[in-house]
Each structure stands twice: as structure tokens, then as C-alpha cells.
Amino acid sequence: MSPGRDLPGKPRGADQGPEEPLLALKNVETFYGLIFALRGVSLEVPEGKIVTILGGNGAGKSTILKTTMGLIQDQPDKGEIYFQGRRIDGRETEDIARLGIAYVPEGREVFQELSVHENLLMGAYPRRDQAGIKEDFGKVYSYFPKLRERRTQWAGTLSGGEQQMLAIGRALMAGPKLMMLDEPSLGLSPLLVREIFNIIRTINRAGVTILLVEQNAKMALRIADYGLVLETGRFVLAGTTAELMEDEDVKEFYLGIKDEVSVKGYQRYKRKKRWR
């Protein structure tokens, strides 16, 4: 049996020891209208770790984050979601955010007609600790020096990479315990992707737990502790990132690595995934 293949939806090693996970989804089912988007999804995110969810377009990766944040009306249809042992499914998004979960959506979605500084202030809106807010401004500007240079500039005039930095910085201003990022590499150059992922790792090392949805499997597995593969609303594979990087299916279908050599130079047809 391949590494990690026996525990879909629950990274092996994540449940070692007495501590409960920071975030837990239990048999969650979500619908978009009549579309069955999540099919009995279970997931645990240990505190202090980076967990990444891999999968193709339409697999349901973003739906997991939106369901967790309460952004899909009347969903989840079934299942339970816990944060720090407290059940949060069915709560308003604002209440979930106040508990310490920050969400960086796909496509960045900055306030385009506000300045960089004003966008960051919006992230700190629920907070009342002025000293802490001032300190976090310093942290954000240390992570993203370009934002300090452009703090009076309209967010809509920033480059795509700078807007992604701003979206992450805005989430940090909420002082989160858990940050959920949806496709942070989308539309960025390889150089900017490396910079963004290095900063995500730095943020994690500073104490913020990360749940990362990403199609760039190589970069995601490079910084994460645990990974899961989602297909058509179900987890089909889970394990440590070291285990997943050695899995033949992950290597071929997500990392683009083929160990087999074609015979006599003929093109080899793709084999079927073993989890199918």
C-alpha cells in the first residue's frame, strides 16, 4: 500500500498525541444548488502546521474553504466543522472570522479604490487593541516592503503580485490563528510565486497555522507539513508531504514526474490513477 493511501482526508501523523486539531471537518457535504460539491469530506489541521489541499479545477478545493468560512448559504448540508474544539458550522462569516480564522480568496479581491494602508486597516476592523494593530502593521510591512513603499497608492493600481501581497497582509491584520489561502500563486510569475510561498512559510513559523489550497503542487508540497488530494469532492489520498512526493500517482499526475521510460521512443499513454 502506498504511503498515506490508507487515511484519505486525515493526514497521517497529524493525530499523534493528545492535542486536538485547530480545525476539523467531519463528514462535510456541501451543495451548490443541485450540484453535489463536497461528498463526506473529513479534514484535520494541526495547530502550527501547514496543510495543503491539491486537486484540479472543479475538484472542490475552494468549496472547502468557503464552507468553513460560512460563505455558502445554508451549507454545509451535512457534517460538522470545529475550530479550537468549538462547532462553527451554521455561524455567520463575521463570527467565524472573529474567532481567529482569516481567509485570502482566489483572485485577491482587494478594495481597489482604497489605498494600501486603508486596505490593511480593513483587515484590522474587528480589533480594538491599538498597540497590537500598530505592531502588526510593522510585521506586514516587514514581510512585504513593497507595500510600505506603496502605502498611499490605490490598491487597484498595484500589480497582480502586489495585490496578492496586500490580500495576505490584510488577512494578517486580523491577527488570525488560522489563515486559509485559496490559490495564492494564481496568475503570478515564477519569481513572485517563490517569494509569496517563502513568505507563507515565514508567517507559519511566526505562529500562524496555514490551510493552503493550491494547484502548484511542487511549491505547495515544498512548504507544507501535510497534504491531501481532492477529486470530485472526495479526498482520495493523504499523508505527510514527504510521503506524497514519493507517491507514484502524485508524482505523475501532480508533479509531472514519470519514472517509466517509453519503449522504443513511442509515447506512453497515461495510466489510470490507482485510487480510481
Residue 14 vs residue 161, higher pLDDT: 161
What digits encode the pLDDT tens for the residues 61-114?
999 999 999 999 999 999 999 999 999 999 999 999 999 999 999 987 899 999
Per-residue pLDDT at 125:
87
3-state percent helix, strand, coil for the chain, nearest multiple of 5: 35, 25, 40
Question: Residue 10: in which H helix or E strand, if any?
Answer: none
What digits encode the pLDDT tens for the residues 24-74?
999 999 998 889 999 999 999 999 999 999 998 889 999 999 999 999 999
- Helices (runs of H) and strands (runs of E) counted in the chain: 10, 10
Name the burial class of residue 172, with classes exposed (0-12), middle (13-18) and buried (19+) by CB atoms within 10 angstroms of its CB. Answer: buried
C-alpha cell at 86: 468549538
Mean pLDDT of 154-174: 95
What digits encode the pLDDT tens for the residues 247-271?
988 888 887 766 555 455 544 445 4
Mean pLDDT of 193-219: 94
| pLDDT, mean over the chain | 88
Strand partners, 26: 80
Tell me phi and psi for residue 36, to 5 degrees. -85, 95
Q: How far is CA 171 from CA 148, 188, 206, 215, in A?
A: 16, 19, 15, 21
8 A C-beta contact, residue 111 and residue 154: no
Per-residue pLDDT at 18:
53
8 A C-beta contact, residue 245 and residue 221: yes
Q: Which residue has the cell 502548484?
A: 216
8 A C-beta contact, residue 229 and residue 254: yes
Give every CB contact of residue 237 below 8 A, 6+ residues apart in sequence.
Answer: 2, 4, 5, 8, 228, 229, 244, 247, 249, 250, 275
1-100+178-186+211-276 maps to CATH 3.40.50.300: yes
